[in-house]
Each structure stands twice: as C-alpha cells, then as structure tokens.
Structure 1
Amino acid sequence: MAAATIADVAAGPTVGLLPLVALGPAFAGLTGGPGRTALVGGLALVLCTALGWYDDLLPGRRGTTALVSVAGVTAAGLAAAVMRQRRERELAAVRTIARVAQRVLLRPVPRAAGPLNAAVSYTAAVADARIGGDLYEVVTSPGGVRVIVGDVQGKGLEAVETAADVLGAFREAAHDEPDLLGVSKRLERSMSRALSGERFVTAVIAEIKEDRTVTFFNFGHPAPLIVHPDGTADFVEHQENAPPLGLGLGGGDAQPLQVAFRPGDQLLLYTDGVTEARDGAGDFYPLAARLHLLETESPELALEALHEDIVAHAGGPLGDDAAMLLLRYRSPEAVSSPREATAAPS
C-alpha cells in the first residue's frame, strides 16, 4: 500500500494507480485474521480517500469506483479470513485426534522389556503422517519378549486399517498363546478373515527367551540381522520363508528358526523401506555396510544415526515407510541366570 501510494503521488491522477491500494486488504485476508484484515482495510480506505482528494478525483466517478473497490476487497478479505480461521481450527482438531489415534495404534515401545532394551525408528512416507503401512510391537509375555515388525501391502488409510488389525491380533496372541507357533497360526487366521483380494502383510515375529536364544517366524519379510560385538553380522534367513499373512497359503504352517542371542549382540528388525532406499544413482541403501553406526551406548541414538544415514543416502525424504526395531540386553547382570548368579564369586 505504501508503494502504491508513493507511485500514485509521483505519477499523478492520469495513470490510475489508486485501485492498487486494495492489494493491502486482499493479501491481509490471506495471511492474517479478521481483526488484522479489518485494520488493513480501514487503512486502505483512509489512503484511498486521501489520494482521491489529492488527485482531485473526489467527488467523481473514478474516485468513487476506487473507494468501492477497496471496500469490496476488504469485505471479501474479511470473509476469507473468517473461513480460513474456521478451517484452521477444524484442521487442528483433526490433527489432535489423528495424533491420539496414531499413538494408540503405534504405541511407543517400552525402553526396557524383560532383560532387553528396545528402541524404534519410524518414518512414514506420507507427509505430516506419523503412521503408514509399517508396524511394530514389543510385548513381554510369560514365554519371553515377543516382537513383530511388519509391512502392509499398499499405502494410505487402507494400509493403516490393516496395520491396526495385525497389531490387535498380535497383542492378543502374544499374551494368550503358550508358544510362538500358536502366535503365528493365530495371526494367519486373523489376517485371512480380515483381508480380501490380493492384500497381504509381510512380517517377522520373534521371541527372545531366557535361555538366550531367539526364535523367528518369517512371513515373506526382509531377514533380521544379529550384530555381534566384534562388528560382524548375520542375516537370520530361513531356507524357505512362509508366504505373507492374509493370502491363505498356509502361513500358519511356517517353520521356526532358532539362533543364539547373547549379551553384547544386537537384534535389528526392519522393513523394506530401509533397504530399498535409493540414492541419486539408483543404488539401494547398503545396510550391512553401515552397521557400525549401531555402536553407541544408547539404542535410541544408534537408530537415530542409522536413520540420518539412510536419509542422507536417499538425498531427502524417503519414498516408502521405513521402520526399524533394535533390541539389546540391558546389562550382564540383567540377564544372569540363577545358576550363574550362584556360581559367581562373592
């Protein structure tokens, strides 16, 4: 408005710059609230009136038209500001509800689960979303610490709904079933009922027992990693993975795989959004070559460093949901068996 005023004074009444003062209330309605828009509109009317008298356009058709234009734009700006504020309040309420729903669906994992420390990293591909088609959970049961990491086929709200079904079934089964085979069969039955068509879920479920072993069932999911203290790592690969959950192809008949998991080892479960992150040349993220990033005292900091490295490799936001779950033993004392504790020197 100041620029329009100076230009009008410099150019004189013959150029016709007086209506440009209306740009003030027009932009105020887009960026400010009703009060600010009304204030800017009032100032615009004062400037338009003063310039109209200065240019000897008032009373007259051109001056009156300019005043009516400024008043009309101010009224439109006020209406736009009111509607925008209403939409912003509605959006804020929806986001609050969404955050609560997301927190219920993907609850924060417990930092201490039995003898283990747990940390999770999750990045949703959809902007401003906290959840997507990937899922995770950690449950402490009488049989041991049971975990799941999975990936729902597809994206959007339908994938979130499926993730909710998987997590609900796993949470119930993890507490009720006496062994991990029962959990896997229950998951397959639940997903066969819940899913239709070609929808499916890849997942790894695992149980860490007191005897320092971990049992896996893999339903078409990327192989977990066990990282040893010396920096070496092993992919926990079945000879033949079971088919994904929900396809009705006998996933409940999956075969378990049991490996040692000792103090000092780290167990990393992840989704394909991690390993399929591409750089500018189209190369996948070399997860096995970056496991040295996990060598920190805190599992949370370890996953944070790994996530930042994945984003740097991709050169920006990831194109797919990416979830990582890291498990460690808390301390040698936390996992000592009663026999070892008795035999230890005083």
Structure 2
Amino acid sequence: MGAKSDTPEARRAVRPSHALLVIPLGLIILIMIADVFTGRSSQLGPLLIVAPAVTASFAGPRLTGLMGALAVAGQVLSAFAEGSGLTAGLEIQVIGLAVVSGFLVALRAVRDLRERQLAHTRSIAAAAQEVLIRPLPRRAGPLRIATDYIAAELDARVGGDLFAAVRADRVTRVIIGDVRGKGLPVIKDTSLLLGAFHGSAYRNLSLPHMAIHLGNAMYWNWANAADDDPEADESFVTVLLLDFPDNVGRVETISCGHPPPLLLHEGKISALDARSPGLPLGITVPSVDQYVVDTFSFVAGDVLLLYTDGVVEAASPNGTFYPLPKRMAAWDGTGGPERLVRHVHEDLLSHARGPLGDDAALIAIQRLADRTE
C-alpha cells in the first residue's frame, strides 16, 4: 500500500493564515474608496489586482480566487459609484483583472501541489531514516544513551553518518561511522554496513573479527561496483566499534580511522586515542592484524561522547574549527547524556552560525551505578 500524500504534515504545509486576509480585504476597500473620491480623472480600479496577488502569497487557490472575484466586483461597484457606469474601458479592465486573477489561482494551485509533494517526500525520508538508522535505546544494561543527528543540508534526513547498538551476552556493542560521499549511493552503502553490523552482532564475534566482517562487506561491495560506479574505488567508511560489558567498568574499542571518543571522568576530559588505529573500512581486504583492541576504564558516573568528523570540522565564519573538548568541558554535568547532546548541538550551531559543511552525529553514553537490565 502506498503512503498517503494527504498527511497532516502536507495539510499544515498549505494551511493559510486566515488572519492575513485582512490585508487584501483592506486593500480592496482602500482602493475602491480612493477610486470613487478621485473620480473619472484617475483610474485606480486596475490596482485591485494587488489583492489576489497578495492573497496568493499565503493562501490557497480557493481564497485567491475569492479575493480575485471580490476585486472584480469592487472595480464594477467603484465605476457605478462614481457614475461612469458600464463602459467599454471598464469591460476591458474587468476582463483583464479576471484573467490575471485566474493565472494567480492556477499558479497557487501548482505551488500547493508541489508543497504537498514535498511534504510527502519528507515523510517518506523520515520513514526511511527510522528504518535505516534505528534510534538507539535510551537504556542498554547499565548504560544511559542519548543521540543526535544534524544534517548539513536543510530538510535532509539521511546522510553518510551512521550509528547503531545491539545487546548480546550481557554486552552492549555500539558502532558509529561516516561513509564517504553524498546522495543515494551513500544511503545504499550505509544500509549495507548497518545490515552487516546487525546481522553479525549476535554471532558473538570478537571486535577484531567484527571489524573484518564489516570491512569485507564494504570492500567487496565497492569492488564489485567498480565498473558501474567510477567513485567506488575511492569509497571508504571510518568506523569506531565499542563493547561495553555489563559487569566490568571498562570499554573496549577498535578505531578504523574514526575520531577518538571523549571521556568525561571526575570533571576531566580526555581523548581515548587508539594505540594503533586501523585503516578505514573498504580501502583494502581486511586482516586480523590490522585491528587492535584498546581497553579503557569506564566506571559508574563516567560519560563517553562519540561523534563524527562533521562535529570537529565545523568551521565558524572566520574559519576556526569547533573545539569539542573545550566546549564539552563547559557542560555543567547536569541532565545526563541527553543534556550533554543538547548542549553540544546548540553550541555547535552557534559556532557555525549557519548550515554545517558536513553531517554530524553525536552519541553520549553514561555508565550508571545500577547494573540491572
């Protein structure tokens, strides 16, 4: 069954503000009064076309047509009020006013149709995002999780940044990554990577073997697509894989060319740099010796912030990159990971003072003292 285009969002997109109708109605009255008082020496009736023109800027075709009809009636009434009656000149003016009003109604109808189609497309994109990038659970074992996705393009819902989490054998496994490129090919690559992650997460693979599995999926996908896609040979994805055991205060990570997470421990910020970061996935056929597991302390009360390079590469108007560690340290520590994500989101947009140059994803994870499921 196809999605309905008459969605609430689509109806809101074309709903007029009836309070604004006072403007064209007032213009009709003012022009009629001025036309009558200036007499036959001035022909102000044609100015009535401004009423349906103004109405078309905020209302639908029906109200635009109604205002056009009132404008035509106002021109006729003005002529009779000033005593000129129905003349050939008046007939031409009325016909011209009616024709232009008809064009305005048609243009407004086309615009409404496009707005409904756009609203429908946005609703489909939102559904695609929910299917492709599933929202992370707010609780996973002893973890409290908050996420945020900031699209670089206005109204964009799906981009190259990705994240996911699964629970298996009392471990929470998390992935965050960034696929090179833009557009539909990136959505396909993102879908493939997340599908491989979810499909293998319950096989109890170690982190290195998980990285190999994901690397093979991406490498051979792009290798087989090289003939059809000239950019496939240059495609890659940076990934950070993390395991959070329930009963041990630590986090295990593998970095495949991804920015290091930031740890907030007892009020101090530190980057969890990988000892030997692996190559981004898809560049070469992966092998087990390419990926080294790093283990870091992650005890109750600690907060870990994961992010994509769209965050740290967001530039201000003067070209200064966003200082994420410094701005994270400015967080007052209240409100949990949800408040931290909101703090970074608002501060990042304030820093950029406009659209970001790249999509940005954020995941804040706090370890709680309560380790119950």
Q: TM-score, normalised by structure 1?
A: 0.88
Does structure 1 residue 182 correspond to structure 2 residue 220?
no
Q: Which residue of the other structure, out of 167, 176, 192, is the alignment partner of 1:140? A: 167
Does structure 1 residue 236 correspond to structure 2 residue 272?
yes
Q: Give the superposition deviation at 1:49.
A: 0.6
What's the CA shift string for 1:93-130, capped at 9, x where partnerless?
Answer: 22222211111122211011122111112111111123
Aligned residue for 1:187, secondary structure, equals helix
Q: Counterparts in 2 of 1:35-50, with a 5 A limit? A: 35-50=62-77
- What's the counterpart of residue 324 of structure 2? 287
Contact 1:278–1:314 at 8 Å: present in 2 too?
A: yes
Residues 1:211 and 1:161: Cα distance change in structure 2 (over 3 Å): same
Q: Which residue identity lines up with residue 111 of structure 2 in the other structure?
A: R
Q: Equivalents in 1 of 2:39, 2:177: separation in Å?
A: 71
Q: Which residue of the other structure, out of 92, 96, 99, is the alignment partner of 2:126? A: 99
Q: Which residue identity lines up with residue 238 of structure 1 in the other structure?
A: A
Contact 1:245–1:251 at 8 Å: present in 2 too?
A: no
Q: Equivalents in 2 of 1:266, 1:297: separation in Å?
A: 12
Does structure 1 residue 314 correspond to structure 2 residue 352?
yes
Q: Give the superposition deviation at 1:57.
A: 5.0
- What's the counterpart of residue 23 of structure 1? 50
Q: Counterparts in 2 of 1:80-159, with a 5 A limit? A: 80-142=107-169, 144-159=171-186
Q: Which shifted more, 19-28 or 115-124?
A: 19-28
Does structure 1 residue 194 correspond to structure 2 residue 221?
yes
Q: Equivalents in 2 of 1:297, 1:33: separation in Å?
A: 44
Q: Equivalents in 1 of 2:332, 2:212: separation in Å?
A: 33
Contact 2:305–2:363 at 8 Å: present in 1 too?
A: yes
Contact 1:244–1:251 at 8 Å: present in 2 too?
A: no
Contact 1:118–1:327 at 8 Å: present in 2 too?
A: yes
Q: Which residue identity lines up with residue 257 of structure 2 in the other structure?
A: G
Contact 1:192–1:246 at 8 Å: present in 2 too?
A: yes
Aligned residue for 1:204, secondary structure, equals strand
- What's the counterpart of residue 344 of structure 1? none
Contact 1:111–1:119 at 8 Å: present in 2 too?
A: yes
Q: Which residue of the other structure, out of 271, 279, 304, is the alignment partner of 1:267? A: 304
Structure 1 spans left out of the alignment, 5+ residues: 337-346
Q: Which shifted more, 289-298 or 135-144?
A: 289-298
Q: Equivalents in 2 of 1:261, 1:140: separation in Å?
A: 18
Aligned length: 334
Contact 2:215–2:285 at 8 Å: present in 1 too?
A: no
What's the CA shift string for 1:310-335, capped at 9, x where partnerless?
Answer: 2222233423211111111122x417
- What's the counterpart of residue 194 of structure 2? 167
Q: Equivalents in 1 of 2:270, 2:258: separation in Å?
A: 16
Q: Equivalents in 1 of 2:188, 2:332: separation in Å?
A: 32
- What's the counterpart of residue 206 of structure 1? 242
Q: Which residue identity lines up with residue 236 of structure 2 in the other structure?
A: F
Identical counterparts, % of pairs: 36
Q: Equivalents in 1 of 2:366, 2:118: separation in Å?
A: 40
Does structure 1 residue 61 correspond to structure 2 residue 88?
yes
Contact 1:25–1:73 at 8 Å: present in 2 too?
A: no
Q: Equivalents in 2 of 1:299, 1:75: separation in Å?
A: 56
Contact 1:58–1:64 at 8 Å: present in 2 too?
A: no
What's the CA shift string for 1:180-236, capped at 9, x where partnerless?
Answer: 12211110011112332212111111111233222211111111122212x223322
Q: Which residue identity lines up with residue 274 of structure 1 in the other structure?
A: V
Does structure 1 residue 298 correspond to structure 2 residue 336?
yes
What's the CA shift string for 1:35-83, capped at 9, x where partnerless?
Answer: 2123212211111111233455543332111100111122223323333
Q: Which shifted more, 244-253 or 171-180?
A: 244-253
Aligned residue for 1:109, secondary structure, equals coil
Q: Give the superposition deviation at 1:301.
A: 1.1
Q: Give the superposition deviation at 1:294.
A: 6.2
Contact 1:30–1:77 at 8 Å: present in 2 too?
A: no
